[in-house]
Structure 1
Amino acid sequence: MLTERQNLILRLIIQDFTETGQPVGSKRLMEEGVQASSATIRNDMKVLEENGLIEKTHSSSGRVPSKKGYRYYIDHLLTPAKVNKQEVEQIRSSLKKDIHEIDDIISQSAKILSEVTSYTAFSLGPEMKDRTLTGFRIVPLNDRQILAIIVTDKGNVESQVFRIPENVASSDLEKMVKIINDRLVGQPLLTVYQKLRTEIPMILHRYFQTTDGIGRLFDIILNEAFEEKVFVSGRMNILNANPDDLSQFKSMYSLMQDSDELTKLLLPTDQEIHVRMGAELGDRMFDNLTMVQANYQIIGHGRGTIALLGPTSMPYSKIFGLLDVFRYELTAILDDYYRSLDLNH
């Protein structure tokens, strides 16, 4: 159990080190307002060191926080910094820029977060389980390519170009559109997903002599409606966290291209702001990194999440304050957007 003064010393060492990157000594702590002699402060630092919360560097008599120290600080000592009015206004106006659909708001939120912090930012929109498939069309582009357009009731429009398998004729595509519109449009996406695995394969066998090509195309196109898009901004910022480890950077960069893996990494938790450090993220590639994740709830539309990935020595107080404001502003903008959709229906 730490004393009140030891807690204060640990908090000041972490705050100072995350701002300056320099080891912190007893003299600096006295300047920061610790009411004790240099010898007493050094004794307290020794206790913190014995508890594994701070470490001595080779270059000076100062101390730096350990991973255990950061974790203790986050769990017991952290107070989010207040974000000034000007910054709040800047976040609010940036989030409203160039908005046409949900994806624009979600991707913009990652972009702004990354610009404000110089870290890698992630944004995952509200969960999709309550959405309904409201429209499906196929537009032929040429002999072998089509544009598939999928619309859901929450304002999401997915459109993607697909190559038609060799054994699929244009008459097959017409049948496919008819099946989707007859059997699946108007159904919740969860029901659509279940029918894709159970009822639809049997229907395809009834309609087509061979279902290989059409079944695969059918599956790929409709899975687009389910894909939970994770928007990533500032991928290159990960280099700043550990510039000398190129293999780590390659692994991280590859992960950031993998939507499934990112979705797993960012699944919303019950905590409003959640911090995972190093091994807690489940892979050695995250050893010197921390992810701070903030969740938000849109009533009637599910939960989403925004997150920052940066060095373990990030200024947590500032980041917590920023993410708290950010999720509040994002919730307000998404609420307004959904309300406008409901009014237009």
Structure 2
Amino acid sequence: MITERQATILKAIVQQYIETGQPIGSKALMDLLPTHVSSATIRNDMASLEQAGLIEKIHLSSGRVPSIQGYRYYLDNLLEPISVSEQMSELIQSDFSEHQFNKIDEIVAQSVKILSNLTSYTAIALSPESKSVRLTDLRALPLGANQVLAIVMTSNAEVYSQVYRLPNGFSGDQVEKIVRLVCDHLINKTLCEAQRWIKNEFPQVIKNYIEDPASLVSLLSDALEQVSGDHFFVDGQSNLLNYVDAPNSTNLKFFYSLFENDNNLSQLLGLHELTADPGDTIQEGINVRLGYDLNPQVLKNYSLITAKYDLADYGAGILALLGPTNMPYSELIGLISSLRQELAKNLINYFGELNGNSG
């Protein structure tokens, strides 16, 4: 447990290091503290903070920098988010309003572009996962050469297509007939209901048509998985390399694979975890995770800010920012909080217009 004055000193050290990137000494801190404290008293408090593992010495000078534990303490106890200015809020709104969006994914993609441009860091977003999205059409178009084009359309006006190679012994016409049969059972069902039906009931429905339905079950399940799976968007990937102390083949390979693999992005955003650590919560729906918690070998110099955006009946998604450990957290958390609100507003408006048009 540290004293109130030591907490004030730690906060000043973190904020000054974020601003300058240089170690901070006791004399410099005298001018940064809100009340007058002697240099000797500051040195004593700094010694206590160093003993507690919250600051550390990295050079021969007397200056100190925050440790990973110091950053964590600052984030959990001392951070004060700064709301964006009216001008910044208007800029974010205009960056959305100047585009005509035809798909949900286009709105989410615009949000990561805005966030990356405003911060020069790497922005990541996960599209909203809506339990209410329903299957509106499913088609299979024969292409010849034992291939078929599967087309899936959903109630949120999204269209997904994928070319599949047919199992041996099947013709495109056969698959097309079976798909029409499937549509009779699945149209207007939610994607989750459709997936369950394909897995549990579909084999019985088509047992009179084919001897072994397993291959078609796999094909249709994969087509629906493409629709209901996570949709990630990333912008500013190369910005990560600006904060690597010594780039090498190992971390370069990691960074490139990180954004090419959805499973890696799911892991990075903590989608496989049931709950976030309580200490990570900065404000409602916003967390900061330090690189040592993410991947101590490669991401030790980075931090990840994640913000959940909620669309009520239309689902929820995630907006995230990956940057250096000494990011200006107060400003960035205010920015990402404002951006997620504008993203949610645009998505809700889109859904509202879509439902109005369909009604």
TM-score by length of 1: 0.92
Aligned equivalent of 2:14: 14
CA distance in 1, matches of 2:357, 2:333: 36
Aligned equivalent of 1:340: 353
Aligned equivalent of 2:210: 208
Structural mapping, 1:224-243, within 5 Å: 224-243=226-245
Quick one: which amino acid aligns to residue 237 of structure 2? R
Aligned equivalent of 2:313: 300
Determine helix, strand or coil for the equivalent of 2:170: coil
Structural mapping, 1:148-187, within 5 Å: 148-165=150-167, 167-187=169-189
1:320 to 333, 340, 343: 333
Aligned equivalent of 1:3: 3
Change in Cα spacing, 1:113 to 1:167, as seen in structure 2 (3 Å) is farther
**1:135 positional shift:** 1.4
CA distance in 2, matches of 1:108, 1:289: 24
TM-score by length of 2: 0.88
Q: Tell whether 2:93 aligns with 1:92.
A: yes
Q: Tell whether 2:269 aligns with 1:256.
A: no
Q: Is the 8 A contact 1:110 1:123 kept in 2?
A: yes
CA distance in 1, matches of 2:192, 2:146: 30
Structure 1 unaligned blocks of 5 or more: none
Structural mapping, 1:19-34, within 5 Å: 19-34=19-34
**1:280 positional shift:** 2.6
Q: Could you list the runs of 4 or more consecutive aligned residues of structure 1 that deviate by over 6 angstroms after TM superposition?
A: none
Q: Is the 8 A contact 2:124 2:321 kept in 1?
A: yes
Change in Cα spacing, 1:201 to 1:256, as seen in structure 2 (3 Å) is farther
Give deviations 1:177-219, integer Å, cap 9, x for gaps.
2133112111111111111221123334332245465343223
CA distance in 2, matches of 1:119, 1:276: 15
CA distance in 2, matches of 1:294, 1:88: 17
Quick one: which amino acid aligns to residue 239 of structure 2? N
Aligned equivalent of 2:246: 244
Q: Is the 8 A contact 2:146 2:172 kept in 1?
A: no
Q: Is the 8 A contact 1:278 1:290 kept in 2?
A: yes
Change in Cα spacing, 1:298 to 1:278, as seen in structure 2 (3 Å) is same
Q: Is the 8 A contact 1:82 1:321 kept in 2?
A: yes
Higher mean C-alpha displacement, 161-170 vs 301-310: 161-170
CA distance in 2, matches of 1:54, 1:215: 58
**1:113 positional shift:** 1.2
Change in Cα spacing, 1:108 to 1:167, as seen in structure 2 (3 Å) is farther
CA distance in 2, matches of 1:305, 1:80: 19
**1:166 positional shift:** 5.2
Aligned equivalent of 2:134: 132
Change in Cα spacing, 1:120 to 1:167, as seen in structure 2 (3 Å) is farther
Determine helix, strand or coil for the equivalent of 1:285: coil
**1:27 positional shift:** 2.2
Quick one: which amino acid aligns to residue 329 of structure 2? Y
Aligned equivalent of 2:118: 116
Quick one: which amino acid aligns to residue 261 of structure 1? N
CA distance in 2, matches of 1:139, 1:59: 71
Identity of aligned residues (%): 42
Aligned equivalent of 1:52: 53
Q: Is the 8 A contact 2:103 2:157 kept in 1?
A: yes
Give deviations 1:193-247, integer Å, cap 9, x for gaps.
1112211233343322454653432232222111110111122222123252431
Q: Is the 8 A contact 2:203 2:214 kept in 1?
A: no
Quick one: which amino acid aligns to residue 45 of structure 1? M
Q: Is the 8 A contact 1:133 1:152 kept in 2?
A: yes
Determine helix, strand or coil for the equivalent of 2:289: strand
Quick one: which amino acid aligns to residue 40 of structure 1? T
Q: Is the 8 A contact 1:98 1:104 kept in 2?
A: no
Determine helix, strand or coil for the equivalent of 1:126: strand
**1:296 positional shift:** 1.4
CA distance in 2, matches of 1:221, 1:283: 37
CA distance in 1, matches of 2:242, 2:203: 49
Quick one: which amino acid aligns to residue 236 of structure 1? S
Q: Is the 8 A contact 1:204 1:215 kept in 2?
A: no
**1:75 positional shift:** 0.4
Aligned equivalent of 2:281: none
Q: Is the 8 A contact 2:130 2:316 kept in 1?
A: no
**1:294 positional shift:** 0.5
Change in Cα spacing, 1:177 to 1:283, as seen in structure 2 (3 Å) is farther
Quick one: which amino acid aligns to residue 132 of structure 2? D
Structure 2 unaligned blocks of 5 or more: 277-283
Give deviations 1:303-325, integer Å, cap 9, x for gaps.
11101112222111111111111
Quick one: which amino acid aligns to residue 41 of structure 1? I
